[in-house]
Structure 1
Amino acid sequence: MVLWLCGSLWMGVAAIAVVDASNSDSSSGSGGSTATDRSLVKLETRSGSRPWVDPDTPEDVRTYVTSRGDTWELIMSDEFGDVNRNFTAGADHLWTSLEMPDGTNDALQLYSHDMTSVVCDDDEEGLCYLQIKSIDEVNNITVWNNYLRPPGYQNSTFYYRSGMLQTWNKFCFQGGMLEVRAKLPAVLSEDSNNTDIGKGNNARAEQTQYYPTWPGIWLMGNLGRALFSSSTARMWPFSYNECNETVFNSSNQRISACDSDPGHGLNPNQGRGAVEIDLLEGGGVAISSSIQIAPGMPSDYRRAAINESLGDWSYCMYSQGCATIGANLPGVPTEYYEERGHRSWYQGLRYGSNNYCIVDGNDTQSYSLVAAGMENITANTCSLLYCPASNDVHGDMGYIDGDRTLGHWNINSNGTCFPEMNGYQGVFLCDPDNQDSRCSAPRNDSTPKTNTMEPYNYQMDALSANWGIHMGVYYDYVAYQLEWVTGDNGYLRWMIGGHPIFEIPAKSVVNTPQGGNKSNPRLTFPEEPSYIILNVALSAAWGTYPPNPGKPCRGDGKDPEANFICDSFPLYMKIDYVRVYQDASKSSTMAHECDPASHPTRQWILDHETDYVDGNNKLVEMHGGAPCRDNNDCNIPFSVLYTFHTGICNADTGRCECINEFWGGPRCTFQLGATTANGEDASEVTFGPPLYAAFIVLGIVLFLTFVVFVVVTIRRRRQMRKDAEKTKEFGNMTYVVSGMKNAKSMASFNEMAVTTPNDNDDGSPETRSSIVSGPYHRFR
């Protein structure tokens, strides 16, 4: 019994050690929900369920074949099947809702916890989905504004309420495929004047005013938390890991490659930031897909600046209406840009058709005609006759994926909806005291400094495509996909239903044009651990907006169309599922945690916590909470005969609950570190054995095993000596057989059973025949 117990314990501890060694990479993930130390153990579940995968995800979609033919595995999913989900801080293992105003981009809405929920339809299908609701509701609040001169509180009016969810500091990933199946908000009542209704799913959306919201599905590096400007200043959207002061002033980047001792758990001489990748944002008649990255290109490599004396205004390039030569599109006209002596803007971007739209013959292009026309573009604008459909004359025009049957990138050979280069190509960012003329509101000499933050001024770039959409995105659920491979040979590819819409090869970002008066910064292709954001915004400044922007929705109430649109609120973005796939092979560089050793974030966030949280949006450590079917989904494998319990599956909630605070992660399979997410000493706030205790137990078990072995060996040797003495004594005995009676007695003795000690050492007797019992059968 003692030996079996010791053996079982040994098997359990050995299993822990083996799993730790085999899962020290990204395959088991960690996220930041448990704020675990990277050096500690992150185990698989007994059932084999991955930490972030929803058990309700169908088995037949748990692998994905990429556009390059590689097979990736599902590492995260949320099917949104539980109507009891609560997304407030600390309540959900994956998502956190926000309760705060949106102070960016002329936003018109507050974000509230109660604007996000899981709903199941009552119809035959009974589909369950995440719902982000937007309502028209006037709220007057007082907010602090660091960018005021001087900084202070200001009274602000917000005319709508909506919702935002983030996986910030819980689930992050570096590379993979993000897929979100969503239905976008729209006014689709039959009695509206929306003439897009009734034309079918493939009709092109044309009536912008009936799609007044700005939905977003996007990613941001974990070092910046969306809406928290103190966390994003000098952090967003950097993807730069060079130290060259003649190219870029390192003081503009909060975590610079020039810093050999950055502290806060960061790696020395590693430039960091919070790059942004937008799977989709916007609505109306087009969706924008983009990356936003810094530092941006110097003016020598950008589109020409407008000349206001010619009557140009700040946004004339959006409609190619600028009179200033070269101010509409990079590379157009040809002669103007050739005089620079070097190329401008990002090269080799790829654009593909949205073939879900109906065909319009007027949009159909011929590759040969366009290629010939691009030899020398003399006009200050582009046309389908001599420019790519994207208006990007520097774009890749090779065959899509090298397949002639798919046609050419950048050419609208089908006459369907086609993405265009976005007129928005970035903005110059400044602190409120900055006097650089490129700032949107430079401080003048008569205004005193505020000294509220470190000084900065830098350009950020947006590599963006606006692609026309079909009515199916409003009528039905559509799968939006993003493939992301990091590294100098990587790429970002945006797809709809598996069909490519836009692609940015890594070489377009890391090998930017050179030869101008100032060198172009050499960027890093996005590789930050990034979290997922789902939100619906409303703005007075974007391509689509509600009636009477900057005022209550109905205005004076005299516009019937405005009244009808406003009466259609609430509007909803509905999300069927979110899924992430990654290369899980041994050679993979992909990871899915918020604090990987290659790009640490945990200690920085703890040391700058006030930059990331406020009274309504706290940093709350979350243990367990993943959906489960039984206890095997919430426990580590300990041995083949015994399960070491680290969590249970709550039968009422269907969610994992960790048995103590030494075990965390979504399925209670991550052994937690010496400190909590709030930086407290875990020994003072937690109960239960940490992993080092297991190794103490292992030492004790090994010692006891040795003691038992020695005791048993001594007992066996003593027994062998006794047996030998008996054998010697028996061999010296003499038997005399006389007469038939004694002969019969001898025969009986020969058939008699002899009892000997059992070699199994369990104390039970062993029966042997005297005929075959060796030394006990000695008669003469």
Structure 2
Amino acid sequence: MFDYEKEADDAFHDPTVEPKGNKTLATTRGLMNLGALAFLTLGLCMLFAGYPMLVYLRPRDHNLSTLNNTGQVGGISGVRTTLIDPDTPESVYTRTSVDGKTQLKLVFSDEFNIDGRTFWPGDDPFWTAEDLHYWATSDYEWYSPEAITTANGSLVITLSETPTHNLNFRSGLMNTWNKFCFQGGQIEVRIMLPGRPDVMGLWPAAWTAANIIRAGYGATTDGLWPYSYNSCDVGTLKNQTYPASQGGGPLAAETTGVVLQYGPALSYLPGQRLSACTCPNSDDHPGPKNSDGTWVGRSGAEIDIIEAAARGQRGANGSTSMSLQVAPFDAGYWLPNSTSDWATFYTPNTEPNEYRGSVYQQAASGLGNTSYEAYELTGQQFSSYAFEYIPGTSTQSHVTWLIDGERQWRLGSTGLGPDEQTEIGPRVVPTEPMYIILNLGISRNFVSIDWENLEFPAHMYVDYVRVWQDPSKIAVGCDREYGTAAYIEKHLEAYTNPNLTTWQRPRSEGGYGSKV
């Protein structure tokens, strides 16, 4: 009835017609398809299995930086590799010590004169910006490398209302951990502080810490911070007390704490993890040893250059605490009663800090004034903040703090001497290799926050960082006689995973799971 014309594809739709052509599967097109699938499969296996294995098995630079084993900086194209910044004026290559007796020699500087620097891991031979939440002090900000750069001849750390990782603020913390360390000498940082001196809430800081801990990595600080101790006694034990099976005590360690806030206990610390009491045959103590063959007590010491806080009265100067954090603790966190025996205050505006400590730290601290003009929202001027120290327990050992070149206060080693009530020995003016930390935080743990009057973004500007040492006592490097490189390499996960909160607790509880 219908007259259809024959079309070219009719046979394709007719099941009775046998197909023509090559019936084998091994066609050129088929082989190409199989080859493409094999290539994609091998590529995915390499990406998700092979590459992680290569990263894990490759030889690591245990300094996690461009420093070699001798503390020298390796060459990086286009990046400065000398410890002293070429932009540092030669006029500051030497500096007179605070006692006027020694010409100190410049050993490190960074002038931040090159704009647009970044500090992501691997970007810079001396500094690394962290990418973490500083949970230990209940900070409101996430520290991100995005918040730190250089501009107009200064380092700029920006605290902004930028939601990041479920936190409402973003800011920056950078340090020289495992890249540049020093033992003894003077460090000076020139800073324009953020915000205003009379609006409370910001927490700008420049400080130093022992390289055997990494700030923000709780497993590494657990049992080491803020100890600075080389005695084998009850001061190294948990809570600074003898076990209950031995009768407990000392009484002062059980009754002289901050009662209203924490109860009568003096200390909540877990005990000094790498103490002078460590068994002689330990294979996990990084050394060195004392002259009597016992281990040197290793410490997560902290010396603060400046922790600045605003005051609440309009038109008032800001304040800065200049502190050495120590453990174990004196009874009631009191240093010797007569400050004239161990402390000298050089200006009428500097005085002992009313905050003496709590169950987590004892603070040997002085409180001074910051310049009203040295803030971002007032005079936009810079002030210099510094400390000079001689490590150890000798009568010459001390820490002396300065603002704008003027001495503020001096802590002598006698202020850190033995305490009969808590039965502890002398604390040590830190002998550990110390690294430098710069950060801008916000936390109620430090100061009340005036949310109505704080202005965001806030900026902390750093003009320079400089370090001088006695030419006869040059001690630069993070892995000298107080070695840390092998220990860090052995426990690398603890030093690279900020989510691990303690040293001994199991992984199921967020700990590193190591045995002491």
Common topology (TM > 0.5): yes
Question: 237, 244, 263: which is aligned to 2:233?
Answer: 244
1: distance between equivalents of 2:403 and 2:84? 23
The match for 2:353 is: 422
Is 1:104–2:104 an aligned residue pair? no
Question: 358, 366, 373: which is aligned to 1:472?
Answer: 373
2: distance between equivalents of 1:257 and 1:616? 29
Counterpart amino acid of residue 156 in structure 2: Q
CA contact under 8 A between 2:67 and 2:125: conserved in structure 1?
A: no
The match for 1:716 is: none
CA gap of 1:580–1:494, structure 2 versus 1, over 3 A, is: same
2: distance between equivalents of 1:172 and 1:159? 33
Q: Deviations over 1:55-108 (max 9, x none)?
A: 111111111111122101111000112223220111100100011112022311
Counterpart amino acid of residue 276 in structure 2: A
Question: 597, 603, 614: which is aligned to 2:497?
Answer: 614
Question: 597, 602, 611: which is aligned to 2:485?
Answer: 602
CA contact under 8 A between 2:73 and 2:125: conserved in structure 1?
A: no
Q: Secondary structure at the match of 1:612?
A: helix
Q: Secondary structure at the match of 2:159?
A: strand
Question: 462, 467, 470: which is aligned to 1:583?
Answer: 470
Question: 105, 114, 117: which is aligned to 1:82?
Answer: 114
Is 1:266–2:260 an aligned residue pair? no
2: distance between equivalents of 1:464 and 1:248? 23
Deviation at 1:513, TM superposition (A): 4.6
Question: 471, 479, 482: which is aligned to 2:387?
Answer: 482
Counterpart amino acid of residue 323 in structure 2: S
CA contact under 8 A between 1:179 and 1:479: conserved in structure 2?
A: yes
CA contact under 8 A between 2:305 and 2:401: conserved in structure 1?
A: yes
Question: 116, 119, 122: which is aligned to 2:148?
Answer: 116
The match for 2:93 is: 62
The match for 1:163 is: 172
The match for 1:227 is: 216
**TM-score normalised according to structure 2 size:** 0.69
Q: How does 1:139-158 map to 2 (within 5 A)?
A: 139=164, 141=166, 158=167
The match for 2:191 is: 182
Percent identical among aligned pairs is: 30
Deviation at 1:347, TM superposition (A): 4.6
CA contact under 8 A between 1:296 and 1:461: conserved in structure 2?
A: yes
CA gap of 1:482–1:32, structure 2 versus 1, over 3 A, is: farther
Deviation at 1:186, TM superposition (A): 1.3
2: distance between equivalents of 1:105 and 1:346? 33
Question: 157, 163, 186: which is aligned to 1:132?
Answer: 157
Q: Deviations over 1:685-731 (max 9, x none)?
A: xxxxxxxxxxxxxxxxxxxxxxxxxxxxxxxxxxxxxxxxxxxxxxx
Question: 376, 381, 401: which is aligned to 1:494?
Answer: 401
Q: Deviations over 1:446-469 (max 9, x none)?
A: xxxxxxxxxxxxxx3111112122
Q: Secondary structure at the match of 2:162?
A: strand
CA gap of 1:527–1:133, structure 2 versus 1, over 3 A, is: same
CA gap of 1:470–1:42, structure 2 versus 1, over 3 A, is: closer
Q: Which moved more, 1:267-276 or 1:229-238?
A: 267-276
Counterpart amino acid of residue 237 in structure 2: N
CA gap of 1:610–1:345, structure 2 versus 1, over 3 A, is: farther
Question: 157, 165, 182: which is aligned to 1:173?
Answer: 182
The match for 1:504 is: 411
Q: Deviations over 1:427-454 (max 9, x none)?
A: 224xxxxxxxxxxxxxxxxxxxxxxxxx
Q: Secondary structure at the match of 1:172?
A: coil
1: distance between equivalents of 2:434 and 2:303? 9
Deviation at 1:520, TM superposition (A): 3.0
**TM-score normalised according to structure 1 size:** 0.46
CA gap of 1:615–1:513, structure 2 versus 1, over 3 A, is: closer
The match for 1:257 is: 276
Deviation at 1:50, TM superposition (A): 8.8
CA gap of 1:31–1:613, structure 2 versus 1, over 3 A, is: closer
The match for 1:53 is: 84
CA contact under 8 A between 2:64 and 2:178: conserved in structure 1?
A: yes
Q: Secondary structure at the match of 1:532?
A: strand
Q: How many residues align?
A: 383
Q: Determine which structure has more spread, i.e. the larger CA radius of gyration.
A: 1
Q: How does 1:184-583 map to 2 (within 5 A)?
A: 184-187=193-196, 205=197, 207-209=198-200, 212-245=201-234, 248-249=236-237, 252-259=271-278, 260-264=280-284, 265-268=286-289, 269-284=295-310, 285-299=318-332, 302=333, 347-353=341-347, 412=348, 418-429=349-360, 460-474=361-375, 475=379, 476-487=381-392, 488=394, 489-509=396-416, 511-514=417-420, 516=421, 518-547=422-451, 562=452, 565=453, 568-583=455-470
Deviation at 1:569, TM superposition (A): 1.3
Q: Secondary structure at the match of 2:160?
A: strand
CA contact under 8 A between 1:64 and 1:581: conserved in structure 2?
A: yes
CA gap of 1:66–1:345, structure 2 versus 1, over 3 A, is: closer
The match for 2:510 is: none
Counterpart amino acid of residue 184 in structure 1: L
Q: Secondary structure at the match of 2:488?
A: helix
2: distance between equivalents of 1:605 and 1:536? 27
Deviation at 1:421, TM superposition (A): 2.0
Q: Secondary structure at the match of 1:611?
A: helix
2: distance between equivalents of 1:43 and 1:159? 39
Deviation at 1:420, TM superposition (A): 2.7
Deviation at 1:523, TM superposition (A): 1.5
2: distance between equivalents of 1:615 and 1:491? 33
Q: Secondary structure at the match of 1:137?
A: coil
Q: Deviations over 1:253-299 (max 9, x none)?
A: 11111222343543241100111100001220211110101111234
Counterpart amino acid of residue 233 in structure 2: N
Deviation at 1:32, TM superposition (A): 6.9
Q: Deviations over 1:127-150 (max 9, x none)?
A: x11000010234453xxxxxxxxx
Q: Secondary structure at the match of 1:75?
A: strand
Q: Secondary structure at the match of 2:304?
A: strand
Deviation at 1:419, TM superposition (A): 2.1
CA gap of 1:612–1:344, structure 2 versus 1, over 3 A, is: farther
Counterpart amino acid of residue 499 in structure 1: E
2: distance between equivalents of 1:536 and 1:133? 8
Aligned CA RMSD, in angstroms, stands at: 2.8
Q: How does 1:639-650 map to 2 (within 5 A)?
A: none
The match for 1:7 is: none
Deviation at 1:166, TM superposition (A): 0.6
Q: Deviations over 1:174-219 (max 9, x none)?
A: 01110111100014xxxxxxxxxxxxxxxxx5x334xx31100000
Q: Secondary structure at the match of 1:604?
A: helix
Counterpart amino acid of residue 343 in structure 2: L
